[in-house]
Amino acid sequence: MVREILIWPDPILKQKAKPVTQVDDSIRALVKDMFETMYAADGVGLAAPQVGILQRVIVLDTTPRQPESKPIAMINPEIIVMEGETTYTEGCLSIPGEAEDVDRAAVITVKFLDVEGQEQTLKCDELLAIAVQHETDHLNGTVFVDHISTLKREIIRKRMKRLKAEREEHPSA
Ligand code: NI
């Protein structure tokens, strides 16, 4: 089921998500919905708070709709090593149409539970490293515009408020 993606600013997107205590069928159903929602929106990552669920769950696929597509779900992800620096022009499904440069670690190691509840450790670079940092930020109530200048952020905030007002006027659009 494709779920509705919250648009920033939204109070839920500022909250810290709670750790998953048990990886059960309800979490697996959430993961399935999050993948469907992410692919429908042409995203490469999605965090549970973006669909209104304050649990520490993220999904990623940096090569969607390609033969090498590799969907990854991470439950309770924790970045344990950060190395190097890189800058990438990021976007976010909760901030549609906007993109800004954000400084991140270039290579990270992340520890997480998979959908079977097994602990995994993965070293990530390139876009996957960016995406894991961006999505784990969401679990801590942070979005990419929190990393840019106040001036740019306030301009984007105005555009998002206008977008939300338009969507309320024309719900089908
Ligand atoms: Ni995002």
Residue 68 maps to a domain: yes
pTM given for the model: 0.96
Residue 15 maps to a domain: yes
pLDDT 10s digits, 96-131: 999 999 999 999 999 999 999 999 999 999 999 999
Ligand 1 midpoint to CA 54 (Å): 14
Query: What is the per-residue pLDDT for 69?
Result: 87
CATH number for the domain that contains residue 19: 3.90.45.10
Catalytic residue IDs: 135
Query: What is the per-residue pLDDT for 36?
Result: 98
Ligand 1 midpoint to CA 138 (Å): 7
Query: What is the per-residue pLDDT for 65?
Result: 84
Residue 164 maps to a domain: yes
b vs e for 7-41, b when ≥16 Cβ sit within 10 Å of the residue's Cβ?
bbbbebbeeebeebeebeeebeebbebbbebbbee
Q: Which segments of the chain have a pLDDT < 50?
A: none
The DSSP bridge pattern shows strands 119-124 and 107-113 to be: antiparallel
Query: What is the per-residue pLDDT for 173?
Result: 53
pLDDT 10s digits, 130-140: 999 999 999 99
For 113, the token pair is 């539970």
Residue 6 maps to a domain: no
- Return phi, psi of residue 77, to 5°: -65, 145
Domain assignment of residue 26, given as a range: 11-169
| Beta bridge partners of residue 59, listed in sequence order | 46, 73
Residue 4 maps to a domain: no
| Beta bridge partners of residue 81, listed in sequence order | 109
Query: Residue 116: which residues within 8 A CB-CB, separation 6 or more?
Result: 23
Residue 2 maps to a domain: no
- For residues 130 and 128, give the distance between their C-alpha atoms in angstroms, rounded to a whole number: 5
Query: What is the per-residue pLDDT for 171?
Result: 79
Establish whether the linkage from the previous residue to 67 is cis, with ω within 30° of 0. no
Query: What is the per-residue pLDDT for 172?
Result: 67
Query: What is the per-residue pLDDT for 84?
Result: 98
Residue 37's identity, in one-letter code, is: T
Ligand 1 midpoint to CA 94 (Å): 6
